[in-house]
Structure 1
Amino acid sequence: MMRLMGAVLVAFGAAWLGLTAAAELGRKVRRLEQLSIGLELLERELWERGSPLPQVLEELSLRTGEPASTLFAQCAAACGRLDWEPFPDAWRRLVTELEGLAPEGRAALLPLGEVLGRYEAQGQREAIAQARAALDRERERAEGEKLRMGRVYQALGLSGGAFLVILLL
């Protein structure tokens, strides 16, 4: 009985690992989607309302999902500390510290720090559109990886668990 219970636990553990790995691919796609939505909202706010950047970032931190909300909230706070750290440096630091973002996604966001709050609205809008397009390409690539590798991770977890049960019994 104890052997059977151990085999079942091992099978569930292996299946859980495979399903968790597949779910992480889905979370990666959602993080990229939220960043892209956040940039779209930022572009609209700067273009239509022309509000000051700190105010726009603070409002967007409340209207977007993770990780965009954290990035915008921290950037709004960084706007209040411009005496100690220039905005481009703060943006670079915050984007680098952003969790769950691939190097390609970071590379898409990094140039925005040099443009936001500095140039005319059209220049900011173009830079945001370029970053959003790069994030969308990264999201599409991540969706393809999720479809392809998600099934592989699930199958490996389930078959690995079944193999271990056979081996243990």
Structure 2
Amino acid sequence: MTALLGKTLLFAGCTAFGLLRGSRLRQRTACLGEFRRTLAGLARELAFSLRPVSDLMAGAEAGTQGPTAAFFRTCRRRFAEGGQESWAESWTAALEQVALPLEEADLRLLQEAGDVLGRYDGESQRQALEGLLRGLEGQAAEAAETARRLCRVYLALGLAAGLFCLILL
């Protein structure tokens, strides 16, 4: 009885590992989409008004959820508490502090947004954000394609590893 339970748990663990790996790919796609929508909203705001960046970040935090909302919350908190810290420094620190399900290339693109926000006039910020949005679109499309392709592969590998372990035992 114990052997059967152990084999079942081993098989379930291998399958769950495959599912979790595929889920991570979907999380990256969702996070990139969330950042893209939020930064597009910031670009629209900058086109029509010159609200302070702290107000823009508060709106961005309210309009997002999950790790993206945690990122904007951390960014605002660090800027408010930092005193001498600029928005770019707060943005960079928040990117390092918050565990975002993104790859290095995604983080480099987002770093560019932090370098622009709060430094230049509204039109320059808007133009820079629109360029960044084009880059994020490409990253999001690539992430969606990767997730579509590899989610089934990871599930199949998890199932196969579970079956392999069952056969060995």
Decide: shared fold, TM above 0.5.
yes
Give ranges in structure 1 of 5+ residues lacking alignment. none
Q: Does 1:121 align with 2:118?
A: no
Matched residues in 2 for 1:5 and 1:140: separation?
42
Residues 54, 162 of structure 1: alpha-carbon distance in 2 compared, 3 angstrom cutoff? same
Worse-matched range after superposition: 145-154 or 106-115: 106-115
Equivalent in the alignment of 2:50: 50
- TM superposition score normalised by structure 2: 0.89
Matched residues in 2 for 1:6 and 1:77: separation?
47
SS of 2:56 mapped into structure 1: helix
Matches within 5 A, 1:114-153: 114-153=115-154
SS of 2:65 mapped into structure 1: coil
CA offset at residue 73 of structure 1?
2.3
Q: Tell me the matched-pair count.
A: 168
CA offset at residue 55 of structure 1?
1.1
SS of 1:155 mapped into structure 2: helix
User: Percent of aligned pairs with the same residue?
Assistant: 28
One-letter amino acid matched to 2:67: P
Matched residues in 2 for 1:71 and 1:15: separation?
31
CA offset at residue 27 of structure 1?
1.0
Deviation per residue, 1:23-78 (Å, 9 max, x gap)? 11111111111111110111112222322211111122111123332232233334
Deviation per residue, 1:111-155 (Å, 9 max, x gap)? 222321222221111111122221221111111211222111100
SS of 1:67 mapped into structure 2: helix
Deviation per residue, 1:79-137 (Å, 9 max, x gap)? 43563212222222222333222111111111222321222221111111122221221
Equivalent in the alignment of 2:167: 166
One-letter amino acid matched to 1:116: L
Matched residues in 2 for 1:70 and 1:45: separation?
21
Matched residues in 2 for 1:69 and 1:56: separation?
13
One-letter amino acid matched to 1:18: G
One-letter amino acid matched to 2:89: D
Instruction: Write out the 4+ residue segments of structure 1 that deviate beyond 4 Å after TM superposition.
Output: none
Matched residues in 2 for 1:6 and 1:155: separation?
21
Matched residues in 1 for 2:59 and 2:30: separation?
21
Q: Does 1:63 align with 2:86?
A: no
Equivalent in the alignment of 2:25: 25
Residues 164, 132 of structure 1: alpha-carbon distance in 2 compared, 3 angstrom cutoff? same
Matched residues in 1 for 2:44 and 2:141: separation?
23
Superposition RMSD in Å: 1.8
